[in-house]
Amino acid sequence: MLIVKKFGGTSVANKDRIFNVAGRIREEYKKGNEVVVVLSAMGKQTDALLDMAKEINPSASKRELDMLLVTGEQISVALMAMALDTLGVPAVSLNAYQVAMHTTSVYGNARLKRIDPERIQNELESKRVVIITGFQGVNKFDDYTTLGRGGSDTTAVALAAALHADACEIYTDVDGVFTADPRIVSKARKLDEITYDEMLELASLGAGVLHNRSVEMAKKFGVQLVVRSSLNNSEGTIVKEVVKMEKMLVSGVACDKNTARVSVVGLEDQPGVAFKLFNLLANHNINVDIILQSIGRDGTKDISFTIKEDDLEEAVNILESHREGSLKCQKIDTEREVAKVSIVGAGMMANSGIASKMFEALYDVGINIKMISTSEIRVTVLIDETQVEKAMNAVHDKFLFAM
Amino acid sequence: MLIVKKFGGTSVANKDRIFNVAGRIREEYKKGNEVVVVLSAMGKQTDALLDMAKEINPSASKRELDMLLVTGEQISVALMAMALDTLGVPAVSLNAYQVAMHTTSVYGNARLKRIDPERIQNELESKRVVIITGFQGVNKFDDYTTLGRGGSDTTAVALAAALHADACEIYTDVDGVFTADPRIVSKARKLDEITYDEMLELASLGAGVLHNRSVEMAKKFGVQLVVRSSLNNSEGTIVKEVVKMEKMLVSGVACDKNTARVSVVGLEDQPGVAFKLFNLLANHNINVDIILQSIGRDGTKDISFTIKEDDLEEAVNILESHREGSLKCQKIDTEREVAKVSIVGAGMMANSGIASKMFEALYDVGINIKMISTSEIRVTVLIDETQVEKAMNAVHDKFLFAM
């Protein structure tokens, strides 16, 4: 068996944790398996490097930032190879250059394009564990790039695909994917299995275990993922295309507090106003999430939408500066203290009553719904931010313990 | 003009020093020159990485150590490119991979074989300052290597040769090459010029400004070096093939306290004993410096030699373990508290009285000479370590202020 294992920064933050990970790798190696390991930079190393850069140049070029940041993972992989050697396991560390991890040209947020597996295969044939820098690549200019948030997960999935690995294990500091954040919902349970699509919805809703891009890539190449803890031997959660039939309708409840609502009131009720509005925001790279448009009345209509709270100030500035020009509306109204609560489940596709059951749960505890959005496997409501905890527990109880 | 500038670790140890160096680079760039900069790792960064490695694996493989250590210079060059950007100077950092700095395969002590100047030339044509990692290379296995002590100087000289640079400036924390260590000889003066050969003798004698390998390479490729301070604008010392005719006979006085004497007493006076003795030591990588053999008497002879003090214990163990076997000698006598004092000067080749003038200077202050060794441009004596300061000042006075 060829197994790809990815460990994050907290798993290699110091000597003891490095040896903990090295011990797990040795276990796998002793079973006779081929092992490829992907590592992030140690603990707060990336932040420390960013701080150094900021001191020198607060608006440093992304090309030079990537040149700086990639040293973090290189330190991790070299130390891990040394730790394995201490434990009597032959190992070799490789960086993005040595693996030939080709990416697009965009510094700071590159996408993996192609991996040359030759060097890795040669090392595996020589019975070595291969330790590879996550998060980084090399572009067509022969420059280092980084893959952005969650980049090491993507590296692991891409390697698993390129090497036709039998398993791809993502180690974190939690036991797997949960039905809800256990810090908010005390009855939250670990899921044994979840589909790629459910995982994608949960990740985009701030569940934060796996990054979207890695799940998308796993889905595209059919790489079965296992999310598990680096601190214990529990089985973790398997992420795959189709899960067992007897599974529940709803896999999880998620929330996202980094949300704000904007209402554009009194727009002219004529073709093209929605286009003008959202085109303005798109031109400034502001992503809009839920959109709700009122029925036209008295020749005007209102459009409300949610955006990231971080983008609120910029969005309002843009809209205000066009209010009397191209936009022509009466006023712009905003609300910052709102949050999204969502239920996600592949099972809800075939079941019509899911959404109303969620609304009922919220009604039972007296929570007012401000906006609603649905996809095939997700129902999202916008509520008051102060009521998130109550809402999540109510919804969780309704679905996940009603079986 | 194309100018290569090399700055050591202390010159880039913190933000202020990085900007000090960046300021000097900007000055050169503003004159319209093409500038290539070679940097070492920041301050104690290399030591910090070595400490981390030692904690994980006290006998870590050199391959992995090099993988770890090369991150140090990569951090320096990225930060320097950011600092130059802050000062409005376009710059790009490159590591050994990007420059294609080919070396031999030996990890930890590789030799540069070939540099592909294409990428550097392209960047220079785009009017960028090019910042390059010193001390490192890539071998035929596509692995990182390091060049050993003084490696960044060698990188700078090799780049100057490959790029046909007009000048190669080595910046240090002293004003240049001195007639003696100013901490020992208060009257020591800075030299304006010195030959490659003199510099080589001084470097091997512990003057420590330039590493031998970089001087050898400069001599081989005819790269004229300038050793100067990164802290002021003084002119420094030029290192080249031939210096002005009116120069003095002796360029400098150097000492080396890391020396011990070993005497092998009562060896059989027959062919092959010297070979057996020194072959034993060579097999254990112990370098022998001065050798002195007594005239045979009563069928026996004595051989004395100097080695590095660090090697003394091992050398004695080796010799003792063979004393009654292949070596056959009466006893092994050692002396640890000895030091070498040398005078170096291309001018002494044509002058016969130099050595005796040195011995006279030592006699005048009552210093006993234990051993003597000479080369074409050097005279070295072994004396008591406690007398080094007195000896150096006496010899310095005799030669360097007698003009």
The tens digit of pLDDT for each residue in A222-240 reads 999 999 998 888 899 999 9
What is the structure's pLDDT at A115?
Answer: 95
What is the structure's pLDDT at A248?
Answer: 64
Q: Is B119 near chain A, with CB under 8 Å?
A: yes
What is the structure's pLDDT at A91?
Answer: 98
The average pLDDT across A144-158 equals 92
The average pLDDT across B365-372 equals 90
The residue with greater pLDDT, A212 or B16, is B16
pLDDT exceeds cutoff 90 at A292:
no
Cβ contacts of B97 on chain A, cutoff 8 Å? 97, 142
Q: Is A18 near chain B, with CB under 8 Å?
A: yes
Q: Is B56 near chain A, with CB under 8 Å?
A: yes
Q: CA triplet A197, A237, A391: central angle to 5 degrees?
A: 65
* B71-94 residue pLDDT tens: 999 999 999 999 999 999 999 999
Mean pLDDT of the residues in chain A: 90
Q: Which of A68, A98, A119 sits opposite B78 (nearest CB)?
A: A68
The average pLDDT across B189-206 equals 85
Inter-chain contact B71–A75, Cβ cutoff 8 Å? yes
Cβ contacts of B93 on chain A, cutoff 8 Å? 64, 67
pLDDT bracket for residue B150 (50, 70, 90):
confident
Inter-chain contact A82–B61, Cβ cutoff 8 Å? yes
Rounded CA separation A330/A334 (Å):
14
The residue with greater pLDDT, B283 or B66, is B66
What is the structure's pLDDT at B336?
Answer: 94
Interface of A with B in 253-312 (CB under 8 A): none
What is the structure's pLDDT at B206?
Answer: 63
pLDDT exceeds cutoff 60 at B154:
yes
Instruction: Give a three-class secondary structure readout of chain B.
Output: CEEEEEECHHHHCCHHHHHHHHHHHHHHHHCCCEEEEEECCCCCHHHHHHHHHHHHCCCCCHHHHHHHHHHHHHHHHHHHHHHHHHCCCCEEEECHHHHCEEECCCCCCCCEEEECCHHHHHHHHCCCEEEEECCEEECCCCCEEECCCCHHHHHHHHHHHHCCCCEEEEEECCCCCECCCCCCCCCCCECCEEEHHHHHHHHHCCCCCCCHHHHHHHHHHCCCEEEEECCCCCCCEEEECCCCCCCCCCCEEEEEEEEEEEEEEEEECCCCHHHHHHHHHHHCCCCEEEEEECCCECCEEEEEEEECHHHHHHHHHHHHHCHHHHHCCCEEEEEEEEEEEEEECHHHHHCCCHHHHHHHHHHHCCCCCCEEEEECCEEEEEEEHHHHHHHHHHHHHHHHCCC
CATH architecture, domain B2-173:
3-Layer(aba) Sandwich (3.40)
pLDDT bracket for residue A377 (50, 70, 90):
confident
Nearest C-alpha in B relative to A16: B56
Q: Which of A63, A83, A95 sits opposite B57 (nearest CB)?
A: A83
pLDDT exceeds cutoff 70 at B401:
no
Inter-chain contact B79–A119, Cβ cutoff 8 Å? no
Q: Say if residues A395 and A362 touch (Cβ distance below 8 Å).
A: yes
What is the structure's pLDDT at A403?
Answer: 42
**β-pairing, B129-133 with B112-115?**
unpaired
The average pLDDT across B155-164 equals 96
The residue with greater pLDDT, A311 or B206, is A311
Q: Which of A57, A77, A79 sits opposite B82 (nearest CB)?
A: A57
What is the structure's pLDDT at B232?
Answer: 87
* Length of chain B, in residues: 403
What is the structure's pLDDT at B352?
Answer: 67
The average pLDDT across B89-114 equals 95
What is the structure's pLDDT at A305?
Answer: 92
What is the structure's pLDDT at B393?
Answer: 93
Cβ contacts of A74 on chain B, cutoff 8 Å? 67-68, 70-71, 74
For tokens 């290597």, what's the residue?
A: B145
* Length of chain A, in residues: 403
pLDDT exceeds cutoff 50 at B338:
yes
List the domain boundaries for chain A. 2-173, 264-301+308-335
| ipTM tops the 0.85 cut | no
Inter-chain contact B64–A53, Cβ cutoff 8 Å? no
* A246-263 residue pLDDT tens: 456 788 899 999 999 999
Interface of A with B in 310-369 (CB under 8 A): none
Cβ contacts of B119 on chain A, cutoff 8 Å? 142
Q: What is the DSSP letter of A130?
A: E
Nearest Cα neighbor of A127 from A161, A84, A98, A159 is: A84
Cβ contacts of B143 on chain A, cutoff 8 Å? 98
Nearest Cα neighbor of B85 from A82, A62, A46 is: A62
CATH topology of domain A264-301+308-335: Alpha-Beta Plaits (3.30.70)
The average pLDDT across A98-112 equals 94
What is the structure's pLDDT at B403?
Answer: 42
pTM value is 0.83
Nearest C-alpha in B relative to A87: B57
Nearest C-alpha in A relative to B16: A56
pLDDT exceeds cutoff 90 at B283:
no
Q: How far is A130 from chain B (nearest CA, A)?
A: 12
pLDDT bracket for residue A350 (50, 70, 90):
low
The residue with greater pLDDT, B259 or A249, is B259
Distance of CA B358 to the CA centre of its chain: 25
Inter-chain contact B75–A68, Cβ cutoff 8 Å? yes
Q: Which range, A253-267, A283-297, B156-170, B273-287, is most confident?
A: B156-170
Q: Say if residues A6 and A76 touch (Cβ distance below 8 Å).
A: no
Nearest C-alpha in A relative to B76: A68
Mean pLDDT of the residues in chain B: 90
